[in-house]
Amino acid sequence: MTEMLKKKSSELDLKFRYEIAEKIGAKSLLKCIQCGVCSSGCTVTEYVDIQPHRVVASCLLGLKEEVLSSKAIWTCSLCHRCTERCPKNVDYSFILALLRNMAASEGKIPKEYSGAVETIYNNGFVVPYTGGLKKNIDKRRERLGLPEIMPPPLEEIQIIFDETGLGALIRKEEGKIK
């Protein structure tokens, strides 16, 4: 963060705070008083590279590149505790979801996410239901008297991905999925 604050003012995107705040439900960003309550109660605080109150400060200061490239916006578990505890009613967990959308539209998506999307696109399952895994599961289900797992409607899933732009976003990031 200290390094981030060494940026020259010409390198800051001073419109970033308004770019976020103008979105429905995100105006509360501008009310932050930097009390740090969000960070003190964050359930993933030890895993994030930038603490919640500092992400908010970075948005307000115009550190767009740093925020959208941070792991913090993806590590959040969206438990909403920060939002519940904020004395100024800053809806941080909602703002984080917006930041993810902004990052994704620039192709900044962690491999863990894009990989999961690619797997669903290609298989219809988060974990491919094939080979040895399929055999084992099928055997166990048969033993338990459970019905066969029906294959998901892959074509429909792929249409949804393509129509919503999700498939294109992943292609942008990794040049994959077909």
Binders of ligand SF4: how many residues, by CB under 6 A?
A: 26
Tell me the C-alpha to C-alpha distance, in Å, between residue 101 and each of 71, 74, 159, 165, 171.
Answer: 14, 11, 20, 12, 16
Nearer to ligand SF4 among residue 39 and residue 114 (C-beta): 39
- 27 touches ligand SF4 by CB under 6 A: no
123: helix, strand or coil: helix
Binding residue for ligand SF4, selected from 20, 26, 50, 56, defined by CB under 6 A: 56
Which C-beta is closer to ligand SF4: that of 94 or that of 161?
94
82 and 93 in contact (C-beta within 8 Å)?
yes
Q: Site residues for ligand SF4, window 98-157 (CB under 6 A)?
A: none
When asked if residue 77 is in the footprint of ligand SF4 (CB under 6 A), the reply is yes
List 26, 37, 99, 102, residue binding ligand SF4 (CB under 6 A): 37
- Contacts of residue 134, defined as CB under 8 A and 6 or more positions apart, other chains included, come to none
Sole residue written with tokens 């994959």: 176
Contact 90, 28 (CB under 8 A): yes
Choices 5-13, 81-89, 108-116, 136-144 (CB under 6 A): range interacting with ligand SF4 = 81-89
Note whether 25 binds ligand SF4 by CB under 6 A. no
**Using CB under 6 A as the criterion, which residues of the chain lie in contact with ligand SF4 when the complex forms?**
32-38, 42-44, 52-53, 56, 76-82, 86-88, 90, 92-93
